[in-house]
Amino acid sequence: MRKHRIAVIPGDGIGLEVIEAGKKVLEELAEKSGEIQFDFKDFDWSSKRYLEQGHYIPEGGLDELKTFDAIYFGAVGSQEVPDHVSLWDLRLAICQGFDQYANVRPARVLPGVTSRLQGADKIDWVIVRENSEGEYSGNGGRVHQGLPDEIGTEVSIFSRKGVERIHRFAFELAMTRPRKKLLLVTKSNAQRHGMVLWDQIFFEVARDFPEVEIQRELVDAVTTRMVLKPETMDVIVATNLHADIISDLAAALSGSLGIAPTANLNPERTFPSMFEPIHGSAFDIAGQGIANPIGAFWTAVMMLEHLGEETSARRLMDAIEAVTRSELHARDLGGAATTAEITDAVCQHIDEQMRAKTATG
Ligand code: NAD
Ligand code: MN
């Protein structure tokens, strides 16, 4: 029996609903296979806590989190707290504190899901987002108010270390894919400094990966390519800001924000990595039991892969696809199924798979 200690941070809004659903399918997987065990510990680091106590992460919180094998995160964001506070004080505090510099976002159209994009069945991308520096490095910049002309400055930082490690990570990932293509996305025509470093280091690292077919595109042009020629892209590497934007587009093109997963990885495994659906706390539907939990389930698949549980990861992905194929969809995908109904259906598929396995010996 292999045990995994998982820190669970549901956060706010539908984060609470989809993470509860995610724990349920993981428990089902563990119980029915008898091969693994999850030791979940819940952390109520949320906007509610911030409003009551003035902080998201309590004193010593990150030290405690450090001892876990992985972090399963929901979403953070509340109408009562400015978004930049919730983002920086919780999610980014963990990503930066644990040097989770590689943010990985797969995008593909699951069976039974209809995309608004024609030819969307050709989407099979993994977006690698630099997650530790760049436009979201949080270093410098300020708002100068009270002057006749108010100004706000924002400082982006791109370091050789930071750029080289994300490129290397992306090349290694491209090597594991059948098509072995890597697309570099920048805006080096307009952003003359940091982006130049991105371009330069990309071609340096490329020399170590002669089998990877490299391509390059500016971020604005890439949005049209995603829509018009989705089949020409495979792995994509981009900065924190650029990848943030194109990955939301990727999620929408592949069906809905409600199904897309992401992993914030510390590839060296010095610290735990964090897994989360890409959607936010969705004030408009929170508390109604109608959030699509598929994003949280696919996230759990990525977490299982990271934990070395390939077989369980495949079983869960098979169960997710069986349910989307049956067109039991939540409202964001044009259906009427509740979070609980989708969760039960996935659990049932896991159960059926395990019975079939027992039956065939
Ligand atoms: P959102 O992702 O919360 O919602 C965008 C739209 O998509 C809404 O209409 C919502 O109902 C729908 N949606 C999202 N997930 C869904 C799901 N699983 N099932 C069905 N529909 C779903 O983004 P937003 O409205 O821009 O942000 C709301 C709050 O969440 C803000 O405070 C924002 O800062 C925060 N946020 C947090 C994260 C995070 O924690 N990683 C990410 C994005 C936004
Ligand atoms: Mn985003």
One-letter-per-residue 3-state SS of 313-327:
HHHHHHHHHHHHHCC
* Ligand 2 (single-atom ion) residues, CB below 5 Å: 244
- Beta partners for residue 106, in sequence order: 126
139-172, pLDDT tens digit by residue? 778 888 888 889 998 889 999 999 999 999 999 9
58-114, pLDDT tens digit by residue? 999 999 999 999 999 999 999 999 999 999 899 999 999 999 999 999 999 999 998
**pLDDT value at residue 146:** 86
Dihedral pair phi/psi, residue 55, rounded to 5°? -150, 155
Atom 23 (ligand 1): residue with closest C-alpha? Answer: 280
pLDDT at 226 over 80: yes
pLDDT at 191 over 90: no
| Ligand 1 near 76 CB (within 6 A) | yes
Ligand 2 centroid to Cα of residue 28, in Å, is: 30
Measured from the Cβ of residue 351, the count of other Cβ atoms closer than 10 Å reads 15
Question: 356: Cβ–Cβ under 8 A, 6 or more apart, which residues?
Answer: none
109-144, pLDDT tens digit by residue? 999 998 888 888 899 999 999 999 988 877 778 888
Atom 37 (ligand 1): residue with closest C-alpha? Answer: 280
Atom 31 (ligand 1): residue with closest C-alpha? Answer: 77
233-285, pLDDT tens digit by residue? 999 999 999 999 999 999 999 988 999 999 999 999 999 999 999 999 999 99
pLDDT at 38 over 90: yes
Atom 17 (ligand 1): residue with closest C-alpha? Answer: 258
**pLDDT value at residue 192:** 84
Ligand 1 centroid to Cα of residue 199, in Å, is: 32
Atom 5 (ligand 1): residue with closest C-alpha? Answer: 282
**pLDDT value at residue 301:** 98
pLDDT at 361 over 70: no
Atom of ligand 1 nearest to the CA of 293: 18
Measured from the Cβ of residue 80, the count of other Cβ atoms closer than 10 Å reads 10
**pLDDT value at residue 138:** 75
Please tell me whether residue 200 adopts helix, strand or coil conformation: helix
CA distance 210 to 166: 17
Segment 331-335 shows an average pLDDT of 94
Ligand 1 centroid to Cα of residue 277, in Å, is: 10
Strand (E) or helix (H) holding 218: strand 213-218
CA separation, residue 270 to residues 23, 133, 153, 273, 336 (Å): 25, 18, 34, 9, 43
| Ligand 1 near 342 CB (within 6 A) | no
Segment 169-185 shows an average pLDDT of 98
| Ligand 1 near 281 CB (within 6 A) | yes
Atom 12 (ligand 1): residue with closest C-alpha? Answer: 282
Atom of ligand 1 nearest to the CA of 75: 40
Atom of ligand 1 nearest to the CA of 77: 32
Give the mutation target among 279, 283, 338 for probing the ligand 1 site: most ligand atoms within 8 A of CB: 279
CA distance 147 to 42: 46
Which letter, b or e, does each residue of 58-71 get, where b requires 16 or more Cβ atoms within 10 Å of its Cβ? eeebeeebeebbbb
6-20, pLDDT tens digit by residue? 999 999 999 999 999
Could you tell me whether strands 261-265 and 273-277 are parallel, antiparallel, or unpaired per DSSP bridges?
A: antiparallel
**pLDDT value at residue 140:** 77
**pLDDT value at residue 331:** 95
CA distance 299 to 106: 10
288-306, pLDDT tens digit by residue? 999 999 999 999 999 999 9
pLDDT at 214 over 80: yes
Exposed (0-12), middle (13-18) or buried (19+): which is 159, by Cβ within 10 Å? middle
Report pTM.
0.95
| Ligand 1 near 295 CB (within 6 A) | yes
Atom 44 (ligand 1): residue with closest C-alpha? Answer: 280
Q: What number is the ipTM of this complex?
A: 0.98
